[in-house]
Structure 1
Amino acid sequence: MRLARRSFISKTASVTGLGLLPGVAFAADSPRRGGTLSAIIQPEPVVLTAAINTAAPTGVVSGSIFDGLVDYDAALQPVPALAQSWETSADGRTITFHLRPGVLWHDGQPFTSADVKWTLENVWKTIHPRNQATFGKVETVLTPDDHTVILHLSAPSLAILSSLNSNGAQILPRHLYEGTDVLNNPYNNKPIGTGPFVFKEWNRGNYIVLERNPHYWDEGKPYLDRVIFKVIPDAAARSAALETGEAHYAVLSPVPLKDAARLAKLPSLRVTTTGYEWVSPWLFFDFNVTRPGLDNPKIRQALAHAVDKNAIAKIVWFGFGEPAISPVPSSLRAFHDSTVPRYDFDPKKAAALLDEAGLKPRADGNRLSLFIDYIPYGDDFKRTAEYLKQAFKRVGVEATVRSQDTAAYTKRVYGDRDFDIAITWFAAFADPQIGVTRAYSSASIGKNIPWTNGSGYNNPKVDQIISDVQGEADQAKRIEAFKSFQQIVMSDLPTLPLLEMKFFNVEAAALRHPPAFGDQVYGSLRDFWLDISSDPK
């Protein structure tokens, strides 16, 4: 089965002009064993298990603790990991995985097919924000022996093989989770995985320590003895840590965007843009469509016309993004629909629509007051909120920007639904079924499942499309269905796509690794090593 391939080189062309590198290979180097990698993680994860929380910081750390059934290469093709091989039946309704023998959990217990079966049935299909849809057509899971997993589907599901890595479908140890409250299991914060590094310590607010797994199945790896993820909330301090060599590695655009070009010119550092191909990130904001006023599509359309996406891309995000017209990024070429309804920047039209909706300016010039909450993942998101505040002000809408930590933000948006506008970003992944439809499915509304439907949007036609594409074996029909999906949601406008984002890494010149996997940002550090002798400092 072929997976959708993103054309990433063209998307990084504008940033390579700033001195950023699309990728770095070290084929001639011989890896050296030993050393401690100092990495930066920001913000601090809420939990350390991506099976129950798909937030980016959790995925970055847990990707070295857990393995997936597969990894994804630069072309987004699955390559063996815990599954050595797999095959799909001719009718697409049976997928068989052959697991790697001799793999151990970090507590010494054997990894078996029972772990995969239990996790699929009790986590992926029940509480995982993406996998409830991705694995929705799986009817039964058979485990004829410890190293074979057979999925029987009610209908083919072309998206499954696009979401089987350690982030997309993280496998939990059944012997530690069965019969417990999965969401509150203590091992969520002291995880036991099968990956190259073993969880050692979490000093909250300061650091997370992982140590080399001496029994890792990939013989000779990992090369590093230890990885320390440091929590550094201040953006300037993160830049300084990388510049001085206190930190070797940081992902997800870890420094202020204006600093990226400067750091890329330093001989002790490099700035790269690979490893995000699997992610396809898009920035957007949810309207709370159940709020009085925002339940009117005309008002939502008016606010959309008040937003200059080009200004957000160039000024707020310093060119590390392109204006988005649809929730399906243009990088997913087959699925993207460029003919969706658009809401071009037009403050006069915005004001006229507000007038038509009955929101005429009061004596103080204001028509409406609302709150803007932003995901607390850095200054870029805060600046986005401040820009929206100013943009709305020009059309007579008074906005108050609120900040909070990640736990409070997710509870406010996905649990209490106590917000007006919430800024966040999602990964679209290689198939819209995996990363896009979760923002519009009514099944998750108000269930406090982060990174799902925050807007409260409920459209039976859209829910039916989401259900239909899960079991459609004909990719051409899925593509047409996804284009209908985009037409509907961009007309109803429960969310406003803002940017197709461009993330980057900052790495020490002494840090070595092969060319990045397509899912490297959430992958493991098993192939990374430190060549201190090459450090120009």
Structure 2
Amino acid sequence: MAPNSISRRTLAIATGAFLLAGCAGTTEPQKPQSQGPLLTIIAEQGATLARNFNPFAATSRWATRNALYEPLMIWNHVTGTLEPSLATGHTWSADNKTLTLTLREGVTWSDGTPFGSADVLFTLELMRTHKGLVGEAATPLAQYVDTITAPDAKTVVIALREAITPALYDLVSQRIVPKHIWEKVADPVTETNQNPVGTGPFVLSTFRPQGYELKRNDKYWQKVEIPGLRLSGYTGQDQINAAVLSGQIDWGAVVPDPDKTFVAKDPANHHYWWPRTADVNLVVNTTLKPFDDPAVRKAFSMALDRARMVDIALWGKSDVANAVGLPSQAYPGWLDESVLAEGKKTVTLDLAAANAALDAAGFAKGADGKRTTPDGKPAAWDLIVPTGWTDWISVAGIVSSSLAQAGITANVKTVGFDNWSSTVYGGKFQLTLGAGKRGATPYGYFRDMLSTATVKPVGEVSTNNFHRYGNAEADKLLTAFAATSDEAEQKRIAADLQRIYVAELPTIPLYEQPDWGAFVTKRYTGFPSADNAYAPLANDPLFPTTYLVYPKLKAAR
């Protein structure tokens, strides 16, 4: 179960979004242009911001990975394509064990130094030798990569120990740093990189603890019209709402019940778009009885009123989950309709069926309507969610009231995020909520959900499979999936993984999670939207899709 905690925390505080498709065009260095208003984005949290622009640090400023340091390629989960960035293409060897990347011509760092394969080689080797560095490529570098070479200035060759084709997406998503700067850094783990030099469309202009500004990088390899970015720290949803509704924000923020509170105030300029890219699940700790029994997990599932969750927590702006926990919008062509039909009854409210399943599993119901477990203990557990995550708190309440109808007690408790994450990731919880992993293929999702390789002992941190379920048959299928680059074969394997998920229901899908995004067109136009779906509109620090959006934005005429 992969919650993407950084992403989810950003959603909870309310962030924007971004994306675009046209970055693959001819390299054309930025030319000086007339100045206009800065693009104001909601993407930072906290009243005081630390000046940290280290792309390998989890606590660095949002602009580090989304405006300053670029990846090799960008997975566009709206269009389903791998977009060129610092690399213009890739090829696999016949045995799918060697990945060759071709780099873009004409790119320079913001200090004027040419970009090349030496920078990519240095970045990846730096991560291999410093285990404390955070980055998309960390897992494949640690587990799969054998050698990295640069045969010429515009070619990088990565040899894997075994065929793991999904590693492509993590490797090319890694933000690249300049060798001539970072080879002089004494400790890249603790470095704050206060004066960043990147290849991105912006450079740092001013910084203060309450916020910072970036100006356009006139050495950038493609045309960007906006003169710069402005970001401020926000301490909570009320402050964000006030900023958005007062017209201070161009891009970002989740506004509750947006049609009434946001769009209605200025229908011509206030817009939002919430494509659905992942699912939220009820997560049970499968190391505990009775949650190790799939029959019990299915009984719980059939007792849940998912439609009410969507109506109340998401203002009706989403849909209930399917039986495999993968939204069709995010994975077109990957879902097996026969498997979805087979599992539909398990994720459909049917209180009679839920009660019958609990009876069959030995959960006796007392005169007060409350059940006991087969060993005679009260069928009561704690359902923990982070304080302040209003959508999850609402959903948890509906889970609790739904299960109560079947005689099950779920005590909703809100705890601070640090407490929640240590308890959940350490496997010391009973019930919680979590979001499925989003990726280019369902491989990562099913690896987190089903693989024995991702199961950690209780007490050991696991941010992925924190429900701690593993299936040996799924392991074989995941290995076969990773070994081939034939998408048709991968889809056949994915169908078998979906069958295992439906049969076992390791977590309980609830609803499709919107990719929160809003924008105002008074100053700039060209944002991604349902009518112009070239990229996502969610300001997620884990995904570099902002680089696809910036070149599309134009000053309002």
TM-score range, shorter chain: 0.7 to 0.9
| Structure 1 residue 242, shift from structure 2 partner | 1.2
Cα offset, 1:40, TM superposition: 2.1
The answer to whether the Cα contact below 8 Å between 1:250 and 1:506 also exists between their aligned partners in 2 is yes
2:501 aligns with one of 489, 498, 501: 489
* Aligned partners of 1:76 and 1:518 also within 8 Å: no
Quote the Cα distance in structure 1 between the aligned partners of 2:99 and 2:259.
Answer: 44
Question: What is aligned with 1:150?
Answer: 157
Query: Equivalent residue for 1:374?
Result: 385
Q: What residue identity is the alignment partner of 2:335?
A: H
Q: Aligned equivalents of 1:360 and 1:129: distance in 2? A: 48
Query: Residues 241-285 of structure 1, C-alpha deviation per residue, up to 9 Å, x if partnerless?
Result: 21211222215xx111x23354223146322327x5xx8222212
TM-score for the superposition, normalised by structure 2: 0.74
**CA contact under 8 A between 1:329 and 1:500: conserved in structure 2?**
yes
Is the 2:65–2:175 contact (alpha carbons within 8 Å) kept by the matching residues of 1? no
CA, structure 1 residues 356+349, in 2 after alignment: closer, same or farther (shift >3 Å)?
A: same
Cα distance in 2, alignment partners of residues 138 and 144 from structure 1: 17
| Structure 1 residues 460 and 502: CA distance shift in structure 2, 3 A | same
Cα separation, 2, equivalents of 1:372 and 1:130 = 34
SS in 2 for 1:249: coil
**Residue identity in the other structure for 1:411:** S
Distance 1:314 1:122, change over 3 A: farther
Compute the displacement of 1:369 (Å): 1.4
Distance 1:48 1:91, change over 3 A: same
* Corresponding residue number in structure 1 for 2:269: 269
Contact 1:103-1:216 within 8 A present in 2 as well: yes
Q: CA deviation at 1:62?
A: 2.9
The 3-state SS of whatever aligns with 1:319 is: coil
Match of 2:88 in 1: 84
In structure 2, the partner of 1:295 is 292
Distance 2:385 2:164 in 1: 34
2:251 pairs with 1:240:
no
Contact 1:125 1:132 in 2 (8 A): no
Cross-structure match for 1:280 = 277
Q: Distance between the aligned counterparts of 1:231 and 1:81, measured in 2?
A: 31
Task: Pick which of 306-315 and 69-78 moved more.
Answer: 69-78
Structure 2 partner of 1:524: 546
* Conserved? CA contact 2:524–2:554, under 8 Å: yes
Q: CA RMSD in A?
A: 4.2
Output the CA distance in 1 between the equivalents of 2:366 and 2:183.
57
Q: 1:378 to 1:305 in 2, by over 3 A?
A: same
Change (3 A) 1:445 1:410: farther
SS at match of 2:546: coil
Taking the aligned partners of 1:173 and 1:489, their CA distance within structure 2 comes to: 43
Contact 1:95 1:151 in 2 (8 A): yes
Structure 1 unaligned runs (5+)?
Answer: 1-21
Q: Report the equivalent of 2:327.
A: 329
Give the residue type in structure 2 aligned to 1:68: P
Which residue in 2 is equivalent to 1:358?
A: 362
Match of 1:269, as an amino acid? N
- Residues 75, 529 of structure 1: CA spacing in aligned structure 2 closer, same or farther, 3 A cutoff? closer
Amino acid at match of 2:231: I
Unpaired segments of 5 or more residues in structure 2? 1-17, 22-31, 372-378, 529-533
- 1:448 pairs with one of 443, 454, 461: 461
User: Separation in 2 of the partners of 1:366 and 1:189?
Assistant: 58
CA contact (8 A) 1:280 1:427 kept: no
Deviation at 1:156, TM superposition (A): 5.3
The C-alpha deviation readout for 1:297-350, integer Å capped at 9, x for no partner, is 222111111112222223332222212221232232322123242312112222
Q: What residue identity is the alignment partner of 1:407? A: D
Percent identity of paired positions between Structure 1 and Structure 2: 19
Return the offset for 1:191: 7.4
SS at match of 2:353: helix
Counterparts of 1:411 and 1:240 in 2: how far apart (Å)?
A: 33
* Deviations 1:145-182, CA, capped at 9 Å, x for gaps: 443211234565554555566xx434456775999987
- Which of 511, 522, 540 aligns to 1:499? It is 511
Once the two structures are TM-superposed, the CA of residue 382 in structure 1 deviates from its matched residue by 1.6
Paired amino acid for 1:442: T
How far apart, CA to CA, are the structure 1 residues paired with 2:363 and 2:489? Answer: 42
Deviates more, 1:381-390 or 1:472-481: 472-481
Change (3 A) 1:457 1:212: same
Deviations 1:414-449 (A, max 9, x none): 2x2121122122343331124443233333344535
2:397 paired with 1:386 = yes
What is the number of equivalent residue pairs in this alignment?
Answer: 492
When the two structures are superposed, what TM-score results if normalisation uses the length of structure 1? 0.77
SS of the residue corresponding to residue 551 of structure 2 reads: coil
Pick closer, same or farther for the CA change 1:336–1:219 going to 2, 3 Å: closer
**1: CA distance between counterparts of 2:263 and 2:171?**
33
Q: Does 1:346 align with 2:350?
A: yes
Q: Which deviates more from structure 2 when the two are superposed, residues 170-179 or residues 517-526?
A: 170-179
CA deviation profile, 1:361-386 (whole Å, cap 9, x unmatched): 35654331112223567422221111
Structure-1 residue corresponding to 2:478? 466
Equivalent pair of 1:264/1:270 in contact (CA under 8 Å): yes
Matches within 5 A, 1:75-224: 75-89=79-93, 92-100=96-104, 102-104=107-109, 112-118=119-125, 121=128, 132=139, 138-153=145-160, 157-160=164-167, 162=169, 168-171=173-176, 176=182, 185-187=190-192, 193-198=198-203, 201=207, 203=209, 208-212=211-215, 214=217, 216-218=219-221, 221=224, 223-224=226-227
Give the secondary structure class of the aligned counterpart of 2:509: strand
* Distance (whole Å) between structure 1 residues aligned to residue 61 and residue 461 of structure 2: 17
Amino acid at match of 1:249: W
